[in-house]
């Protein structure tokens, strides 16, 4: 949890799955998420950030050989990276 879930949360599962819920902008949390995306998606992490900050939609992408699911809710953006 990040700041009592005010800005978002990050969950890492033991089956090769990573999940982020972005709830509210916070520069420190956003920096941490961007760094994690770049670790998991070394050539396309910045592209994922661009998608999330411009006009995100519910979609499934293949990035750096991993499956990336973007899910919009009323209060957050969910990103799950598998593989």
What is the largest distance, in Å, between two alpha-carbon atoms of the chain? 33
Task: Give me the pLDDT at residue 58, please.
Answer: 97
- Token code pair at residue 32: 């941490």
Distance CA 55, CA 43 (A): 21
pLDDT at 5 over 80: no
Residues in the chain: 83
Task: Give me the pLDDT at residue 2, please.
Answer: 45
- Per-residue pLDDT of 19-69, as tens digits, reads 777 777 777 778 888 898 999 999 999 999 999 989 899 999 999 999 999
């Amino acid at each position: 949890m990040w700041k009592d879930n005010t800005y978002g949360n990050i969950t890492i599962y033991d089956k090769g799955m990573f999940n982020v819920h972005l709830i509210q902008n916070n520069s420190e949390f956003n920096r941490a998420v961007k760094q994690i995306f770049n670790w998991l998606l070394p050539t396309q992490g910045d592209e994922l950030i661009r998608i999330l900050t411009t006009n995100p939609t519910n979609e499934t992408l293949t990035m750096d050989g991993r499956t990336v699911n973007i899910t919009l809710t009323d209060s957050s953006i969910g990103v799950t990276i598998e593989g």
